[in-house]
Amino acid sequence: MTLSTAIDTNSAKLKRPKPAVSAGTGKVGVMLVNLGTPDGTDFKPMWRYLREFLSDPRVIELNRAIWYPILYGLVLTTRPKKSGANYARIWNRQKNESPLRTFTRAQGEKLAQMLGDQPNVVVDWAMRYGNPSTASIAEKLVGQGCDRILAFPLYPQYSATTTATANDQLFRALMKMRAAPAVRSVPPYYNEPVYIEALARSLKQHLARLDFEPEVVITSYHGIPKPYSDKGDPYQAHCLETTRLLREKLGWSEKKLITTFQSRFGAQEWLQPYTDKTVEKLGKEGVKSIAILNPGFSVDCIETLDEIGREVAETFHHAGGEKFAHIPCLNDSPEGMAVIEAMVRRELSGWV
């Protein structure tokens, strides 16, 4: 027996590895990802949602040893009831869900139709917090034969508290997959011409339907704690640039279209000027009519429909204001879907 024969004989006795199982059949998944929503307005679903949301270290950067006693000892014992009452006012009774889920689903369904010319593209939608979870939809897409996924965090302006958390959650899901798909993430689109055009067109259309012309129009963005911005989060700069470009598109002055920040939480300083304080100041100064739009939200939700549409409106009226209008988000409107389709088709380049 020669040496080569011995090697061949011994090799034949070794257990040969099984051939690799294909991760998919060459399909591409497109996943729209929004912030999240509770499953109901009662205490328990609100508690679950708020716990997941407020436990994210990118959302609350306090040391866990300091934050968790506050979260579990105070916030989660009081806030679910209050937040549940707010959600109840805007709840989609017909579908028994929040408007954010209704609109995000509609965006996913319409995008799937718009991408009908791409038979190998599968479209779905997910939530960063709540259901349907990012992990469940990632697994669903892989199960449908997708070996590549384009994630679309539905936040025009980047922040570590939003876009980054959505990407974090997707990669956590991939960490548990033996055969993980390749992934891309749609970048922030705060200055994209298609987005600015959509905002301008939507704003003009809604203003034309009002029985008054607002003296001031406010672009109100969800705020973040000022220390986050001081550490390098580009969110504030992105918001200001969106407003500047929109103002330029409309041909308006800096007094006509202004920027504010809403939805602050806790005792620390957040990005200013604050929306509620600004609206109150305008009313006291004699401004009688205003309109507010929310360019940082891809769909209407609790922060736009209840916080702006009810709370801020009441603040303005109590301060002497008379005419108030909330401009809907782009939602699944033709303008809004044009933005989503344009961004998705661009980022799918090379994959389809």
Digit-coded pLDDT (tens) for 104-131: 999 999 999 999 999 999 999 999 999 9
Give 307-315's long-range contacts (Cβ < 8 A, gap of 24+). 307/86, 307/262, 307/263, 308/220, 308/262, 308/275, 310/89, 311/276, 312/220, 312/262, 312/275, 312/276, 312/279, 315/276, 315/279, 315/280, 315/283
Whether 21 shows a pLDDT value over 70: the answer reads no
Residues 6+ away with beta carbon under 8 Å from 34 = 100, 104, 125, 126, 127, 128, 154, 298, 299
Mean pLDDT of 227-248: 98
Assigned token pair, 171: 């990669």
What integer pLDDT is reported at residue 2 of this predicted model? 45
Residue 153, beta-bridge partner list: 33
Parts of the chain belonging to CATH 3.40.50.1400: 27-189+335-347, 193-326
| DSSP notation for 133-198 | BHHHHHHHHHHTTEEEEEEEE--SS--TTTHHHHHHHHHHHHTT-SSPPEEEEPPP-TT-HHHHHH
Q: Collapsing DSSP states into helix, strand and coil, what is residue 341?
A: helix
Residue 222 annotated in ligand binding? yes
Q: Name the band, by pLDDT with cuts 50, 70 and 90, for residue 17.
A: very low
pLDDT, tens only, 165-181: 999 999 999 999 999 99
Q: For residue 88, name the pLDDT band (cuts at 50, 70, 90).
A: very high
- Report the candidate in 24, 33, 31 with the shortest Cα–Cα distance to residue 146: 24
pTM: 0.91
303 is in an annotated binding site: yes
Which CATH class for the 27-189+335-347 domain?
alpha beta
The rounded mean pLDDT for the chain is 93
Q: Domain 193-326 falls in which CATH fold?
A: Rossmann fold (3.40.50)
